[in-house]
Chains A and B, each alone.
Chain A
Amino acid sequence: MKKRLLALILMMSLVASTFTMTGCGQVEEGDEIVLRVSNWEEYIDLGDWDEDEVIDISDDVNILGVNSLVDDFEEWYYETYGQKVRVEYSTFGTNEELYNQLTIGDVYDLVCPSEYMIMKMLREGMLVPYSDEFKDDSIETNYYAKGLSPYINEVFNTLNINGNILADYASGYMWGTLGLVYNPEEVTAEEADHWDLLTNPKFEKRVTIKDSVRDAYFAAISMYYFDDITDESFINSEDYHDKLSAMLNRTDAITVQGVEDVLTECKDNVYAFETDAGKADMVTGKVVANEQWSGDAVYTMDQADEDGIELCYSAPSEGTNLWFDGWAMLKKGIEQDPRKQQVAEAFVNFVSMPENAVRNMYYIGYTSVISGGDDSMIFDYMDWNYGVEEDEEGVEYSVGYFFDMDDPDADEEYTIVTSEDQLRRQLYAQYPTKDVVDRSVVMACFEDEDNERINRSWTNVRCFNLDKIFK
């Protein structure tokens, strides 16, 4: 009897699962518009903050995440446009995972991959350009056009694929640099100022590097071309930034071979190629330095602070990788219902509202591309977060380039007084100084054949080399 019951239950569950499987197709009931969004894991404010977490920037500005931003958007959209929308929100773990999902046949309307993946999608004709209306900063609800940092805007306008300017196809979300998190008790600021920390025998098996081809490649190519890019005349040349960008984006066979040698050296020296363990290993002290994106660096430092351990961040002086994640609209999804484009653009505008940008930054630790435009909330948040009390001593920290690039006196306006250690810590990671962004380069979306070459070399680094035995 028991067996029969078990068989029945098994059968029922099988039948039930087939029903749910067919059930997740397109459901568009009534006049509701469904927006399918895919974003990184843990990359948006999910609300549910404690009462005492309220961000009291000033007497009349108090920010508290009660509901998730996605729910808030649905409510805001209905109030603003009188139309019901429902967001189907999903997440992905890596850019490649998202791309694979899309090629297998998953359909999304709005996705948030990194810059090189957006460029790849653009090259393959997968994206819909943003409307002219979206770029009009005179419209009240266009929070993105009104609030985007002029610095990020310039970067977006200089990047293009086959003549298509990136700014037309993508809107920014979060941005940052690539650098090293280090423990100042073990590693000096001078040592952490160079990528060769990763091959330094002094820290044998006590540093980690990212288990990602592009991040490892960037660190290694900076070491490979160290002499060239730190040369006085190179740095002082007029088109320094363009030359640096070209050099750190080289993918020719000789460079790839050179990078492979550096990475092989890294492999023997590092504790691990890590995907996720690096943050915890820093806090527990297993490693003294690791390669990290600035946003994760902030998170790591925050975690360590809770345990009473001070960690620092450095964007190495030879060069750093400027990265950003941004929203792109996919043809396959938007084409199904033309009304979706407006909803997708509204979603971008909604998360770009200064208050929501602050909520996201507080919740996930990354830096929003929004500087706020006429609204001073973003700058006030930065001051609230990192500024010292009025009666305390501190040092000045200027980020005029981010808030108002064209005004040469912007630095005077956008300066906060912060404690001295923040020059190497969260503030520096979240809002890098002008000289850091001057030596930062965006890593291009490599051509397929170059990618193939790099991937092959990566496999060479990671695979067991039989030749070693026979030699």
Chain B
Amino acid sequence: MKKGFFDRRQLALPYVLFLLVFVILPLFVVVYYGFTDAEGHLSFANFLAFFTNMRTVGTLVYSLVIAILTTIICLLLAYPVAYILAKGEYARKHSFLMVFVLPMWINFTLRITALKEILTLLEGNLAFHPFLNTIICMVYDFLPFMIMPLFNSLAKLDNSMLEAGADLYASPVQNFLHVLLPLSVPGIVSGVTMVFLPAMTNYVVLDMVYNSTYIMGSLIGSYFSSYDWNNGSLISAILLMMIGLVTMVTNRLIGDKEVASR
């Protein structure tokens, strides 16, 4: 196999180094700061303080509500779109898909600014509906991230499965619930992970639509700007744990499906 100057392992080296320095190491730094105090001693005080303060827990809840709502709405909007694009009988599917993904090519602050003006036209004063506007802008911002993985998983799906379901007298609803939906779980899972967690921290959207209530991302920013590295890192660490949890649960889900579909 040795034809070029490097073998495969050597070629992987820069990436391994990159991952170590820019991904693994920072994670350890975050966890280290999160669970030490200002003097560098191991401490769970920040952790306890976070979960006993009604305001910080409130921020977590508020972020979760925003993220869950955004994810659900994205999923409801994206699924039919992805299905039609993937299974529809027409040419140039990919061009249509492109149209949905195209907004991602434009800087999102620019898009939100434009959307803000449209919402101002519709609502008048934006400040009276900060929560609604946050959700609208979040959904707009994250929708392509939901469509893409759903499209990919639906496009790969074997049509004969659906046909078999229909042949066995499954109603369209049954066919959807028992055949299509279970088979598209991997797409749903990756779409959800791509939307849910960023939505918890994307505070730029809140700033832009004049929502003055903090979410997890703004809390991290406010701690860092008052030089409180420990509390800022702690919140990042809490988010990290949530990512871990979500990934574990979803892996379990995908694993089950793969077993079931065999």
Interface residue A270 (Cβ < 8 Å from any Cβ of B): yes
Interface residue A279 (Cβ < 8 Å from any Cβ of B): no
Could you say which residues of chain B place their CB within 8 Å of the CB of A451? 226
Question: Could you give, for residues 205-249 of chain B, a 1 whenever the CB lies within 8 Å of some chain A CB and a 0 otherwise?
Answer: 001101011100011001011111000000000000000000000
Stretch of B55-63, B138-146, B254-262 lying at the A interface: B55-63
Interface residue A464 (Cβ < 8 Å from any Cβ of B): yes
A residues contacting B by CB (< 8 A) are: 11, 14, 94, 96-97, 99-100, 103, 205-206, 211, 213, 267, 270-275, 277, 286, 451, 455, 458-460, 462-467
Interface residue B125 (Cβ < 8 Å from any Cβ of A): yes
Could you say which residues of chain A place their CB within 8 Å of the CB of B227? 96, 99-100, 103
Interface residue B40 (Cβ < 8 Å from any Cβ of A): no
Interface residue B44 (Cβ < 8 Å from any Cβ of A): no
A55 to B126 Cα, complex, angstroms: 42
Q: Is the CB of A272 within 8 A of B225?
A: no
Q: Is the CB of A271 within 8 A of B214?
A: no
> What's the minimum C-beta distance from B214 to chain A, rounded to whole angstroms?
5
Contact A464-B225, Cβ < 8 Å, known A14-B14, A270-B212: no
A96 to B224 Cα, complex, angstroms: 9
Interface residue B102 (Cβ < 8 Å from any Cβ of A): no
Could you say which residues of chain B place their CB within 8 Å of the CB of A273? 212
A92 to B54 Cα, complex, angstroms: 34
Minimum CB distance partner of B55 in chain A: A463
A455 to B228 Cα, complex, angstroms: 10
Can you name 23 A-B residue pairings with CB atoms under 8 Å? Answer: A96-B225, A100-B227, A205-B128, A213-B226, A267-B212, A271-B125, A272-B210, A286-B125, A286-B126, A455-B226, A459-B56, A459-B214, A459-B222, A462-B214, A462-B218, A462-B222, A463-B213, A463-B214, A464-B55, A464-B58, A464-B214, A465-B55, A467-B58
Given contact pairs A103-B227, A459-B219, enumerate 9 new A-B contacts (beta carbons under 8 Å). Answer: A11-B14, A94-B225, A273-B212, A286-B120, A455-B226, A459-B55, A463-B56, A464-B61, A464-B214
Q: Is the CB of B212 within 8 A of A462?
A: yes
Contact A466-B214, Cβ < 8 Å, known A11-B14, A272-B127, A275-B207: no
Could you say which residues of chain B place their CB within 8 Å of the CB of A467? 54, 58
Could you say which residues of chain B place their CB within 8 Å of the CB of A205? 125, 127-128
A124 to B139 Cα, complex, angstroms: 46
Minimum CB distance partner of B120 in chain A: A286
Residue among A11, A270, A272, A464 with most chain B CB within 10 A: A464
Could you say which residues of chain B place their CB within 8 Å of the CB of A275? 207
Could you say which residues of chain A place their CB within 8 Å of the CB of B54? 465-467
A206 to B128 Cα, complex, angstroms: 10
Residue among A211, A270, A463 with most chain B CB within 10 A: A463
Residue among A205, A211, A459 with most chain B CB within 10 A: A459
Q: Is the CB of A463 within 8 A of B210?
A: no
A272 to B125 Cα, complex, angstroms: 11
Q: Is the CB of B212 within 8 A of A464?
A: no
> What's the minimum C-beta distance from A211 to chain B, rounded to whole angstroms?
8
Q: Is the CB of A466 within 8 A of B125?
A: no
Contact A466-B212, Cβ < 8 Å, known A99-B227, A275-B207: no
A94 to B222 Cα, complex, angstroms: 13
A389 to B127 Cα, complex, angstroms: 44
A459 to B220 Cα, complex, angstroms: 11
A96 to B223 Cα, complex, angstroms: 11
- B59, B207, B208: which contacts A463 (Cβ < 8 A)? B59
Could you say which residues of chain B place their CB within 8 Å of the CB of A97? 225
A275 to B218 Cα, complex, angstroms: 13
Minimum CB distance partner of A99 in chain B: B227
A272 to B212 Cα, complex, angstroms: 6
Q: Is the CB of B61 within 8 A of A466?
A: yes
Could you say which residues of chain A place their CB within 8 Å of the CB of B56? 459, 463
Minimum CB distance partner of A463 in chain B: B55
A275 to B222 Cα, complex, angstroms: 13
A307 to B198 Cα, complex, angstroms: 39
A211 to B227 Cα, complex, angstroms: 17
Minimum CB distance partner of A274 in chain B: B210
Q: Which positions 167-225 of chain B face chain A at CB distance < 8 Å?
A: 207-208, 210, 212-214, 218-219, 222, 224-225
A41 to B222 Cα, complex, angstroms: 21
A155 to B208 Cα, complex, angstroms: 38
Minimum CB distance partner of B225 in chain A: A96
> What's the minimum C-beta distance from B143 to chain A, rounded to whole angstroms?
25
A286 to B117 Cα, complex, angstroms: 11
